[in-house]
Structures are given as C-alpha cells and as structure tokens.
Amino acid sequence: MRTSIVFVLVMLLASCAPLAIIPAAAAGYTLDVFGNANMDDTIDEDDIAYVEGIIDGTNERTELADADYDGEVDADDITRIEQIISGEEKELTIIDTVGSTVTIDKPLEKVVVLNWNTLEAMRSLKLEKENIICVSKSTIGKENFFPEFKDYPSAGSGWSPDIEKIIELDPDAVFLYATHFEASCDEVQKRLEDASITVVRLDCFKPENYLEEVNKLGYIFDKEDEAEDFFEFYEGYSNDIKESVEEIPEDKKTRVYFEGFGEPYKIGGEGTALHQIVEVAGGKNIFDDISGYKVIDREEVMVRNPEIIVKQGYARGKYGYNVDDVTWLKDIRDEIAERPELANVSAVKDERVYVMIKELTGGKHFIAIAYMAKWLRPDLFEDLDPQAIHQEYLTRFQGLDYDLDEHGVFVYPPMEES
C-alpha cells in the first residue's frame, strides 16, 4: 500500500479554531472510494486518523469520509476503513467514472465485463479468470490478445448487449464503458439496474483517469498490491517522458494533427484519448480548441500546418500480433502523404507522416505515448524503446507469450525506419 507524502497546509482561522489538514494525492488524483477520508490516492491508517479528527471536531468532514455510506461519520466508519485495509469489507462504495455512486457487495465472484479495455486492466491486476463469466463480442474477436476468453459466453456488443442473457447469468456486477458509447451505455445501465444488477462504469483507456480506474479496480477485487506493481511499471516510463518534455515552451512544442480512423479529417479534440496522447508526449494538438471527435474542413489542416501527422488505423485482421505484413498501414500513410491539399503542409514535405493502430491508443495508450514522444522529439528520446515497453507489458502484465521481435504490426513506418 502506498502512503501519500504530499500535504496541503491549511491556514488557521483568525479564531484559531482547528481546521482540516488534507494531504493532496501524490499520484495527482483522488481515489474515489468511500473510506478515503483524507482525499488522497490510497486508503490507509492516515484515513483512520482523519476520521478520528472529524469525530473529535478537529478535522472537517470530507466527501469520502463516510466509509460505510450511511450518512454519518462515526466509529462505524473507522471499523469499515480497517476492514478495507485488511481486505475484509463486505461492501465497498465507490464513485465511478461517470460520477455514479455505486455500492458493491464483496467479494465479486461473478462479473460480466463488456468493456474490453477494463478486462485488459483486470488482467494486469492478475484477476482470476474464474471471476469473469461473460464478455463482449469484441473480446471474443480479439482471440490473439484474449485467447483465454475465445470460448466464453458473449453478451454481444459492449454498448448494446443482450440484456436478458446478462440477467439470466445473475452476475454480481457488470462493467460498462463510461464516456465511450455514453448514451447507449446509459440506457444499458438503466435496464440492468432496473433488474437489480450492480453496474460499474469505467473506461480504462484515457490517460487522464486510467491510473485512478486501475487503482479502483484494485480495491474492488482486493488486488491493491498488484495495482502497486503495475503503477511502478506505468509511472516509470510515463514520468521519464513527462520530465523530459515539461520544460518545452508552449510555442516550441511540435504541432500534431492526429486523425482518427475511418473517414478523412476526423479529428480527436480536447477530452479525447488522441488529444491526451499528444499532450502527454509533449506535442501540441492543432485542434485542441475543439472538443470530442469531429469531422473538420480539410482546409483547417492546411491553415494550421502540422509538423507531424499521425493517422489512427483500424481494420480487423490487417494488423496486430499475428500479422507481419505492413502493406495496409503503408497504404494508409501513402494515402495521406499523397492528398493534394496537404502537399504543402510541413509534415508531408518533411516526410513526418505516421500510422498507429487503434488498439495502441486504447488500453495500451502508454505505449502510444512512447511512440508519439519518439516521433515528436527524437533528440530527447534517443534511448526510448516503445517496443521494449510493449514487450514488457505483454509478458509481465498480460501473461502473453508473444515475441515482438518475431511478429506483430502496430505502427508505420517501423521505428527503425522512422
């Protein structure tokens, strides 16, 4: 378990009445689990002390101090926090990624996972396969990445599943996407909750909330130690990149046009994973003034003149762990480089046009960030090896026996040619 060491000092009132001294989350986020009384990124003995302060009148009540979620902060909350720390709690109340407060009966022994990004995160935490009783058809379709689930029951798509089938399975909880397919998942959530089924909404692919979601899964499934192990891996690479790019002035950042898969000129603006990947890697998304995914006028790309163009590629069977032919990705790159309207754009003139498969921009976004950083600033990241990060992730956290030196197509041009 981690202990937050960063503290925010709260000034005393003129009356000298004692106020809360609440530590800020060392990881940069607040773990939204009730029992996290001091609002940092973990639940530990400091939360017990903080609740004792609330009861004594020396600390202010915080949103998450009511560990047993009964409306009162009292000795029962101390007992619940002690149970969470020891892994003996029978209930855990969280706030999920859409802001819903969800009380989970523990242990979760039968779960339906309709978000394959969340399933990937669960596998990073070494969640036992037996806990998962049904998955989405997208998971079944990724048989090279999820071979252990290829014969599993499928409830259909992650955003429009077979509700009746899920109800018949009588799961302890169902995991849905949060912001992805949001409107459809809202309806699915309503129907499942009407059937008294617990629903948890997580994305597990956006850099902005990925670590908190994985941390939350650690508490939900009593895999806090496994989460800590993964954080060390994730933050080791991420922090190196962050520290290397944080001193780059805004006006010196490389201008990036990141085009989504599908139709031309579909951009990923503020709030999207594509935007966040560019920003974390130290680039400047030329469409950071637009929110969400939108198709824009091609002239806007010409006017904003990107120094790098990255295209997100997606077509099942054309890339991945069992594909060695780069022709499809090369064709995508050539199509962009040969668009007449982009002939005078810096990225095309300087031959800085790249393709990255969609799966890297999802649950493996930290690998995408490594590739992006290498493309943006090869001078800063001469020793950065995105493929080595990818290989360690597959072997150490996903338990997959793949040798990326032998097989696999994920970006184009290959890094050695970039």
For residue 1 the two structure tokens come to 């378990």
Cα 362 to chain centroid distance, Å, stands at: 7
- Compare 5 and 352 and report the one with higher pLDDT: 352
pLDDT digits (tens, 9 = 90+) for 363-414: 899 999 999 999 999 999 999 999 999 999 999 999 999 999 999 999 999 8
CA angle 226, 38, 108 (to 5 degrees): 40
- 3 state DSSP class of 293: strand
Domains by residue range for the chain, with CATH: 1-89 (1.10.1330.10), 111-222 (3.40.50.1980), 243-417 (3.40.50.1980)
Count CA atoms within 13 Å of residue 169 on its CB side: 25
Evaluate whether 147 touches 131 at the Cβ level (below 8 Å).
no
Count other Cβ atoms within 10 Å, centred on residue 137.
Answer: 16
Has residue 204 got a pLDDT over 70?
yes
pLDDT for position 87:
96
pLDDT, average across residues 225-249: 94
Tokens 């824009």, located at residue: 296
Angle between helices 273-280 and 224-245 (to 10 degrees): 60
Write down the mean pLDDT value for the chain.
92
Evaluate whether 82 touches 164 at the Cβ level (below 8 Å).
no
Across 254-360, the runs of DSSP E, i.e. the strands, are 255-259, 266-268, 284-285, 293-295, 308-313, 353-357
pLDDT digits (tens, 9 = 90+) for 20-44: 445 545 568 999 999 999 999 999 9
Report the amino acid identity of residue 314: Y
pLDDT for position 242:
93
C-alpha–C-alpha distance, residues 64 and 31, integer Å: 9
pLDDT for position 275:
96
Helical spans, DSSP H, in 57-150: 75-86, 116-124, 137-141
Angle between helices 224-245 and 210-220 (to 10 degrees): 170
- Please report, for residues 95, 211, 256, the alpha-carbon distance to residue 200 in angstroms, rounded to integers and kept in the order given: 9, 16, 34
pLDDT-based confidence at residue 6 (cuts at 50, 70, 90): very low
pLDDT, average across residues 250-279: 95
In angstroms and rounded to an integer, the radius of gyration of the C-alpha atoms of the chain is: 23
Has residue 2 got a pLDDT over 50?
no
pLDDT, average across residues 109-136: 97
pLDDT digits (tens, 9 = 90+) for 133-159: 999 999 999 988 999 999 999 999 999
For residue 405 the two structure tokens come to 């030196």
Cα 312 to chain centroid distance, Å, stands at: 18
pTM of the model: 0.89
Residue 13 per-residue DSSP state: P
Cis before residue 413, ω within 30 degrees of 0?
Answer: yes
Has residue 16 got a pLDDT over 50?
no
For residue 202 the two structure tokens come to 């997580």
Evaluate whether 124 touches 229 at the Cβ level (below 8 Å).
no
For residue 114 the two structure tokens come to 């309709």
pLDDT digits (tens, 9 = 90+) for 308-350: 999 999 887 788 888 899 999 999 999 999 999 999 999 999 9
pLDDT, average across residues 168-184: 95
CA angle 263, 266, 269 (to 5 degrees): 165
CA angle 274, 275, 278 (to 5 degrees): 90
C-alpha–C-alpha distance, residues 70 and 110, integer Å: 26
Cα 273 to chain centroid distance, Å, stands at: 9
- 3 state DSSP class of 57: coil
pLDDT for position 123:
97
Evaluate whether 292 touches 372 at the Cβ level (below 8 Å).
no
pLDDT for position 189:
97
Sorted by sequence, the CB contacts under 8 Å of residue 383 that are 6+ apart come out as none
C-alpha–C-alpha distance, residues 198 and 192, integer Å: 7
pLDDT digits (tens, 9 = 90+) for 78-110: 999 999 999 999 999 999 999 999 999 999 999
